[in-house]
Amino acid sequence: MSATLIAQLVVIGFTFFMLLNSAAVLVLMERKVAAFIQQRLGPYRVGPWGAMQPLADIIKLMMKEELRPKSADTFLFYLAPILCATAAFAAFAVVPFGADTTFFGLLDEPVKLMAADVNVGLLVIFAITSMGVYGIVLAGWASNSKYSLLGGLRSSAQMISYELSYGLSLAAVIMLAGTLSLREVVDAQAGYWHLFGVLPIPKWYVFLQPLGFFIFMTAGVAETNRAPFDFPEAEQELVAGYHTEYSSMTFALFFMAEYINMVTVSAVAVNLFLGGWHGPFLPEYLGWMWFLLKVFALLFFYIWMRWTLPRYRYDHLMEFGWKWLLPAATLNLLVTAGVVIWMGW
């Protein structure tokens, strides 16, 4: 067991552990940010500034009674949340969150701060996100209830529609970077341009692909079934959509899967468009701090959108995805291709 192997395993375990924690942190962050947007205080009793609230939530969820409708298909009913959660965690496996590090010289060779460096990394994320659709479809079907079935069908139709724009905006970034591996896409964004010889602008792809960034974030929000695209879970309409019949830990799994999908989409967006772990003033091996900062900025943006914008009606949602976002993504791809060929990049 060489030191590098142990270090790699530690990184993998650490990533998993931090993902679990991020779900808990997001629970609190969502409630506090929502509260401040709505001019109230949010949870403040449990721990300082409500910091122990996620712990209270988790204990509550664990103590609840585990229910299952009698006519539900047992195997599929319990498989669905497992699929959702597994897909959510697995998608983060190829996301890097820092430069190669030697842990302050303890190791001989640098180890990558990611779980798996595949050279088709972006496609893997796309593939595993597609698998997340199954959890939702099966949850809707297996619950054997009309609200769940409708919610599940609508949600999965929405997800597969927005996957197209998601993939096309990814393709534009791949064209600019020339590689499918996320680490190399981040490394291509190192450095600065100097506007007018003086103003340093980081070489992030968001400046080269503003439309692409917008499409990616919109499609990402729709993929994770968050507002304003959360009609399938709309409380006013469908009770709770595909997770109506779920309670206790199975609901917690769905809940967690949604938050981790949010984190994954934000992390991928940071890596693709916002320069990953590159940032000023900090040495390279502390780049993960910048990464965290950027990811939390995007997560704040997610939560802000949820509590500010009204919900799209379902047919408007589908129309937007097919008739506006997909042509915009195609246009973005074509223009990017034209510019890349013309400038010879």
The verdict on 126 binding another protein (CB under 8 A) reads yes
Helices (H) and strands (E) counted in the chain, each on its own, are 13, 2
DSSP secondary structure string for all residues of 206-217: HHH-HHHHHHHH
**Are the beta carbons of 83 and 131 closer than 8 angstroms?**
yes
Among 56, 58, 160, 239, binds another protein (CB under 8 A): 160
Q: 141, 205, 242, 314: which one contacts another protein (CB under 8 A)?
A: 141
Report if residue 76 touches another protein, rule: CB under 8 A.
Answer: yes
120 forms part of the interface with another protein (CB under 8 A): yes
Q: Which residue has the tokens 């340093």?
A: 200
Distance CA 332, CA 222 (A): 19
> Total residues contacting another protein (rule CB under 8 A)?
24
Q: How far is 120 from 93, CA to CA, in rounded Å?
A: 12
Shorter beta-carbon distance to another protein: residue 154 or 278:
154
Task: For residue 11, give the nearest of 124, 128, 127, 107 by alpha carbon.
Answer: 107
Comparison of 210 and 338: residue with beta carbon closer to another protein = 338
Q: Give the DSSP H or E segment for 201.
A: strand 199-202
37, 46, 131, 240: residue in contact with another protein (rule CB under 8 A): 131
Of 22 and 264, the one with the shorter C-beta distance to another protein is 264
**Out of 33, 84, 124, 215, which residue is the one contacting another protein (CB under 8 A)?**
124
172-197 burial, b if ≥16 CB within 10 A, otherwise e? Answer: bbbbbbebbbbbebbbbbbeeeeeee
Residue 144 binding another protein, by CB under 8 A: no
Residues engaged in binding another protein (CB under 8 A): 73, 76, 118-120, 123-124, 126-128, 130-131, 133-134, 137-138, 141, 149, 153, 156-157, 160, 163, 180
